[in-house]
Structure 1
Amino acid sequence: MKMTFRWFGKDNDTVSLDEVRQIPGVEGIVGALYHIPVGEVWPLEDILNLKKQVNEKGFHLDVIESVNVHEDIKLGLPSRERYIENYKQTIRNLAKAGVKVICYNFMPVFDWTRSDLAKKRSDGSTVLAYEKDKIENIDPEEMVRRIESDSNGFLLPGWERERLKTIKNLFALYKGVTEDDLFENLRYFLEQIIPVAEECGIKMAIHPDDPPWSVFGLPRIVTNKENLERIVKMVDSPSNGITLCSGSLGANPNNDIPEMFRYFLKMDRVPFVHVRNIKIHENGDFEETSHRSCDGSLDICEIVKALHDMNFQGYIRPDHGRMIWNEKARPGYGLYDRALGIMYLLGIWDSLEKQKKGRV
């Protein structure tokens, strides 16, 4: 298990690589080029510059998150051909820089949805939260305005301003698009890019929908075990993999997260893992918590045990953290709580290692 930390770049993150170096056990940085518009080729020079920054601090850049998929590809429009060719070239450029895993998603319009970016918890921390009534009773454009105003001026992954300026048009284009349509558009995309990923020695790892159900009537397909299995079988290749995310899939109590982890790890289709905990309420609302099992609805101990039992050799990172200790940072991506999450995950792993070696 290789521990990593998501970083948004020296000009776009409150967390420095020097601070990340002080978190025990972190081997790599999960990065991206956030200044490149969705659908355009990532220049090799820019990728190598990012790699140089990361390597100089003693980290690898084996994982990239995210090379976002243009909406025309998701919609299956004729213009998708240009964007798919650009995506192929980006894969090739990333491979030249030594990247091994690309995390991406196939969520229409919104990469993730929350009703609150700073819900205050009883301990005084603030967290990302999802309240169904708020989402169902708000216009998507109004939600975009609220998200932007609550983001503390930070670019939020999946909420790129140039894309969301066309939100009315996007919703019109998605009118009548079914889940089966989206599956077929994903199949077409995978059939085009996976051979390139194979040639380059890169594993593509699709991220689950967050949350794993339809929002604003938009189709969503990366939501459960059945659909994930359907996706990896669309193009039967080790390069067609999954980013298993406990928090995204776990928002639906019907998803047995430890069992899903074991199932897809056994298939050897999991190069990348996100782990976070959430507290699910009786009405289906949820909020993010610390990583500790007892603080949320997910058994993080059992999830890490599944990784350990299956001898997981891939990459893992703590996912969203709380804002604690008066930190001001991008919602979900501060330093302190993610560092605590890393130590919790590594503590579980170390205990399992000692048990395995018979020292406990």
Structure 2
Amino acid sequence: MINNLEQTFRWFGPQDPVTLQSITQTGATGIVTALHHIPAGEVWSPEEIEKRKTMIEEAGLQWSVVESVNIHESIRIAGPERDGYIAKYIETLKNLSAAGLSVVCYNFMPVLDWTRTNLDYRLSNNASALRYEAAALAAFDLYILQRPEAVHEFTASQQEAAKTYFDSQSDDEKTQLTNIIMAGLPGTDDVFTIEEFKVHLKKYEHIDAAVLKQNMAYFLQAIIPDAEKQGIKMCVHPDDPPFSILGLPRIVSTEQDLVDVVNACPSPANGLTFCTGSLGANPANDLPGIVERLGQHIHFLHLRNVQREPDGSFYEADHLNGSTDMYAVMKAVILEQQKRAGAGRADVAIPMRPDHGHKLLDDFNYNTYPGYSVIGRLKGLAELRGLEMGIKRTLFS
């Protein structure tokens, strides 16, 4: 029997209502975290890294994956300061390597991280899920942000749906929608104002997907040789959602995008975070096929499910129920593990975490980060653990 996937849990640090002690009861052994208090672009010092690592180990866990070392916007837009920020990024990677950390997740999404329009979408059992509603996003873009180009980017039917949605919302609901969409990076409570966001949009005025890919290739070609020397495995997280929003380009949304990433700087250090939720929101993505064809480059797994809707909307479904065939995905991952074991690779136990759990039961008593309640993720982890065991017993018994 090949090694099990490494079961991990995301933790946002000492301020997270989900404690390390709680995580030890989920069955997870690894922690996925970052130094969210350090601004993007600044160096993570050895002292700060060791402080966080010690905190995790004293709870009987290990720091398995760094998610994320965020990339400064100057790197994405090819600003005059980008080489300086790349040098700082490399210094952070060296400090992480010296502390024994070797898997670093990051993303190349401009301005905003993952985007939703509803953080409390109630399911039939009254559990709370995250939701992306296409009409709500369009309503924000057309009537709140009032981006001039938006009118040319939505069809007549999409604009009609957006107007219907906008007219149905109270002023408070419109403010809430704005705050949800304008939220900053995970692990922070930052929210852009409309004017601040417009300033950021202006920076991308002449940056389309092709230019952003060039800027990403520049970044990878600068850091990957050092990452490889340090034994660091970089793994890019796909765009969420996997299509352009608010006029911002997306370049890690399809299988071809993933191929372009690994080809930008071929190296064992240049790899992928395989997020079934992000990629699964695009019906054109063949998730089991992506694992089969690009599995050797996968350093980290985010396993969650979304239920897609015809208009491009989606919501976070149960981990084993939704538009993605999680059985087929898990089987493909296990076959990739078998290939690695046969090749003598050391990274057979790929770190995996259950992503974006529902709020269930006692979760409603805690103000956790959206998608990161403890019981909802515990349920997802238990389901994924059982699925993995069942497939392995069937394949290898």
TM-score, normalised to structure 2's length? 0.84
SS in 2 for 1:213: coil
Structure 1 position 178 matched with structure 2 position 203: no
Q: Take 1:202 and 1:353, find their aligned partners in 2: how far apart are those partners?
A: 29
| Aligned residues of 2:121 and 2:130 also touching (Cα < 8 A) | yes
- Which of 232, 248, 263 matches 2:262? 232
Aligned to 2:19: 16
Q: Aligned match of 2:309 in 281, 301, 304? A: 281
Gaps of 5+ in 2: 147-172, 338-347
Q: From 66, 82, 94, give the equivalent of 1:92.
A: 94
- Please point out which of 320, 323, 348 is paired with 2:356: 320
SS class of match (1:166):
helix
Equivalent position SS for 2:114: coil
Q: Which residue of 2 aligns with 1:203?
A: 233
Cα distance in 1 for residues equivalent to 2:86 and 2:12: 25
Q: What is the one-letter code of the residue matched to 1:211?
A: P
Q: 1:129 to 1:159 in 2, by over 3 A?
A: farther
1:351 aligns with 2:384: no
Map 1:89-168; keep pairs closer than 5 Å: 89-139=91-141, 146=176, 157=186, 161=190, 166-168=196-198
> Aligned partners of 2:222 and 2:175: how far apart in 1?
36
Q: What letter corresponds to residue 285 of structure 1 in structure 2?
A: S
Equivalent-residue separation in structure 1 for 2:191 and 2:225 (angstroms): 30
Contact 1:277–1:291 (CA<8 Å) still a contact in 2? yes
Distance 2:308 2:301 in 1: 21
Contact 2:112–2:185 under 8 Å retained in 1: no
Alpha-carbon contact 1:62-1:98 (below 8 Å) kept: no
> Secondary structure of the equivalent of 1:36?
coil
2:36 paired residue number? 34
What SS is found at the alignment partner of 2:109?
coil
Q: 1:303 corresponds to which residue?
A: 329
One-letter code of the match for 1:300?
M
Q: Larger % of helix: which?
A: 2
For 1:31-70, what per-residue CA distance to the aligned partner results, in whole angstroms no more than 9, with x for missing partners? Answer: 1001001111111111101100111122111210011111
Q: For residue 79 of structure 1, report the CA deviation from its aligned partner.
A: 1.1
- Residue 23 of structure 1, CA deviation: 1.4
* Amino acid across the alignment from 2:77: L
Contact 1:245 1:274 in 2 (8 A): yes
Q: Tell me which amino acid in the other structure corresponds to 2:334.
A: H
Report if the CA contact (8 A) 2:7-2:352 is conserved.
yes
Please report how far the alpha carbon of residue 19 of structure 1 lies from its aligned counterpart in structure 2 after TM superposition: 1.0
**Structure 1 partner of 2:199:** 169
Normalised TM-score (structure 1) = 0.92
- Point out where structure 1 has 5 or more consecutive residues left out of the alignment: none
Answer yes or no: is the 8 Å Cα contact 2:113–2:185 preserved in 1. no
Change (3 A) 1:166 1:159: farther
The amino acid of 2:269's aligned partner reads S
Q: CA RMSD in A?
A: 2.2
Is the CA contact 1:30–1:65 (under 8 Å) kept in the aligned structure 2? yes
1:141 positional shift: 5.9
Amino acid at match of 1:304: M
Please state if 1:218 is matched with 2:248. Answer: yes
Quote how far apart the aligned CAs of 1:356 are: 3.0
Q: How far did 1:212 drift?
A: 0.5
Note closer, same or farther for the CA distance 1:191–1:204 as it changes in structure 2 (3 Å cut).
same
Aligned to 1:6: 10
| Deviation sequence 1:228-248 (CA, Å, 0-9, x none) | 101101101000000010000
Shift of 1:148: 8.1
The aligned amino acid for 1:282 is P
The alignment covers a number of residue pairs equal to: 350
Percent identity between the two aligned chains: 39
> Are residues 92 and 163 of structure 1, via their aligned partners in 2, closer, same or farther at CA, if it must alter by over 3 Å?
farther
| Residue 326 of structure 1, CA deviation | 4.3
Q: Return the alpha-carbon distance in structure 2 between the equivalents of residues 253 and 229 of structure 1.
A: 18
| 2: CA distance, partners of 1:87 / 1:269 | 22
**1:292 matched to which residue of 2?**
320
Tell me how far 1:146 sits from its aligned partner. Answer: 3.1
Shift of 1:166: 3.4
Q: Aligned partners of 1:148 and 1:56: how far apart in 2? A: 40
Which of 59, 77, 80 does residue 75 from structure 1 map onto?
77
Quote the Cα distance in structure 2 between the aligned partners of 1:115 and 1:213: 15
CA distance in 1, matches of 2:35, 2:174: 22
Structure 1 distance, partners of 2:226, 2:174, is 35
Per the alignment, residue 342 of structure 1 pairs with: 381
Structure 1, 320-329 or 231-240: larger mean CA deviation: 320-329
Larger Rg: 2
Q: Which amino acid aligns with 1:20?
A: I
In structure 2, distance between residues paired with 1:92 and 1:160? 29
1:156 deviates by: 5.2
Task: Name the amino acid aligned to 1:22.
Answer: Q
Taking a change above 3 Å as real, the CA distance of residues 70 and 249 of structure 1, as seen in their structure-2 partners, is: same
